[in-house]
A and B are shown apart, each in its own frame.
Chain A
Amino acid sequence: MEGLYLAGDSRIHRLPAQVKVVAALFFVLVVVTTPRERVLAFAGYAVLVAAVAALAAIPPLRMLRRMMIEVPFVVFAVLLPVFGLGERVTVLGGVSLSVEGLWAAWNILAKATLGVAVAVILGATTRPQDVVGGLARLRLPALLVQITGFMVRYVDVVVDEATRMRTAMAARGFTARHLNAWPAVARSLGTLFVRTYERGERVHVAMLSRGYDGSAKAWSLGTSPAGPTVWATGLALPAAALAVAGAAWWSTW
């Protein structure tokens, strides 16, 4: 599975996955707990995110395209001032907007956008299998690590299988245009499940025969541990966000 990964050798790419996951989570936590009225703080966060994206050498256009995943919520946020309750203001000669709705829209847009941006950077600089290794190193329960590991490893195989099935159906003249296509699509999904499961059985038996014991350790092979310096480097991002939040708190903005 590739996910959003963009091959590279930046300092962000080289940080161990476990550090990046924790740093991203803390950063977003700081962002979502910032009161929406502290407008300047969000500008500070945006600068931090842009700096990290630049360090990771992610092309801005690519970054923006990958952030499109939040578009449904952007549409929702844009509609809020129109349908929101409470006190209203009139702008642009006659359009009546809800004040509370405007604040709420800003709140969602700012926080969701920063959250998506950080997640896109995480995905773009971390290979999915390294995320699994990082989760193992963060002491996630072994069973969860295993499930995540198998998912990441076999997504491409199964998606390819699904694509082949769809191609075969198309070759037989199948087009999914109507409700009456459902039984055929569902039957192919059923077949996909059986094939996926049977593949899992074969793979598991093969792994057992080579000595796989289901421990989380098997999944963190090839990933690097993080020493205190590396952790300090990674956690500089949420620390800087905290500093920004503190500065915004004391200023009148």
Chain B
Amino acid sequence: MHIPDGFIDAPVAIAAGAVAIGAVALSLRGARRELTETSAPMAGLTAVFIFAAQMVNFPVAAGTSGHLIGAALAAILIGPYAGVLAMTVVLSVQALVFADGGLTALGLNVVNLAVLATVAAWWVFRGVFRLTRGRLVVAAAAAGFVSVLAAAGGFVVEFLLGGTVPLAGDTVAAAMFGVHAFIGIGEAAITALVVAAVAGVRPDLVYALRRLRSSDPAVSPAAAEKVTA
């Protein structure tokens, strides 16, 4: 769910817009390196995939369902920089073409769902991947879980700084983290399952495997084979 206009006050929304622009500029520089072999259309098609994946509902319990955010998936599949760009484009198209998420709140939504979620997912993925000596599924699940909490954390900070709503900050924080811990479990499961499915067919498409296996001797070839098997 995207933040609408007026939910967070204007100074904080504009500041978030500035942070988002800075983060996107950094990602544009970084993405040139990530995208050398795959190039920009791939990031565009990944944005399409994330958008389509968000439309697939997962049954939770009688009648209710949830959907994916996709930031962790983007970070693992095409890298953190290109992932930030793909998520930013998904959010921008949702705001500009589908009226989903406020135009002046785009900066807030990009900071939470594109920047914080993707970057946190990548750091956690890399850390867990190394710690577990290349357990792709475990690392992807951890990244999915943390990405949701990072986005929720971003919202809580924005709310404390510029919330226009008379609710106690600690109540909001508790509610946000409580609900999103649940959502995070779903995101973790789906992210891990999808990454495993892709790695099973085309491991060469998974950016995280290309990058972490070639640069990190700690990841044994045996573990790598186990994932692709």
Contacts and interface: CB of A to CB of B under 8 A. Distances in A.
Given A189-B197, A190-B196, A85 B166 contact: yes
A84 B165 CA distance: 8
B104 A29 contact: yes
Interface in A30-49: 31-33, 36
A25 B104 contact: yes
Nearest to A98: B166
A216 B9 CA distance: 34
A181 B42 CA distance: 29
Main secondary structure of the interface of B (DSSP, over half): helix
Given A84-B166, A186-B197, A146 B40 contact: yes
B182 interface: no
Contacts of B167: 80, 83-85
B85 interface: yes
B52 A28 contact: no
Contacts of A199: 45
Given A179-B59, A197-B46, A25 B103 contact: yes
Given A107-B164, A108-B6, A141-B28, A155 B51 contact: yes
A201 B96 CA distance: 27
A144 B89 contact: yes
Given A111-B6, A182-B189, A191-B197, A196 B49 contact: yes
B39 to A, nearest CB: 6
B77 interface: yes
Interface in B31-67: 31-32, 35, 39-49, 51-53, 55-60
Nearest to B78: A197
A227 to B, nearest CB: 23
A151 B90 contact: yes
A186 B60 CA distance: 14
Contacts of B97: 1, 3-4, 123, 128, 131, 152
Contacts of B93: 128, 131, 148, 151-152
Given A32-B5, A200-B45, A143 B104 contact: no
A116 interface: yes
A154 interface: yes
B31 to A, nearest CB: 7
B86 interface: yes
Given A119-B96, A143-B85, A194-B198, A24 B6 contact: no
B99 interface: yes
B153 interface: no
Contacts of A136: none
B6 A115 contact: yes
A204 B14 CA distance: 36
A196 B41 CA distance: 11
B103 A115 contact: yes
Interface stretch (A6-14, A51-59, A68-76, A245-253): A68-76
Interface string B61-85: 0000000000000000100000001
A115 B104 contact: yes
A160 to B, nearest CB: 10
Interface in B190-214: 190, 193-198, 200-202, 205
A179 B13 CA distance: 38
A182 B40 contact: no
A162 B55 contact: yes
A28 B103 contact: yes
29 contacts: A3-B98, A29-B10, A31-B6, A33-B10, A70-B4, A84-B166, A115-B102, A116-B99, A118-B103, A128-B93, A144-B85, A144-B89, A147-B43, A148-B47, A151-B93, A152-B93, A154-B48, A158-B48, A162-B52, A162-B55, A178-B59, A186-B189, A187-B193, A190-B196, A190-B200, A193-B194, A197-B42, A201-B42, A203-B41
Interface of B: 1, 4-7, 9-10, 13, 24, 28, 31-32, 35, 39-49, 51-53, 55-60, 77, 85-86, 88-90, 92-93, 95-100, 102-105, 164-168, 189-190, 193-198, 200-202, 205
Given A147-B43, A176-B57, 7 more contacts: A28-B104, A147-B89, A150-B40, A162-B55, A182-B58, A193-B53, A204-B39
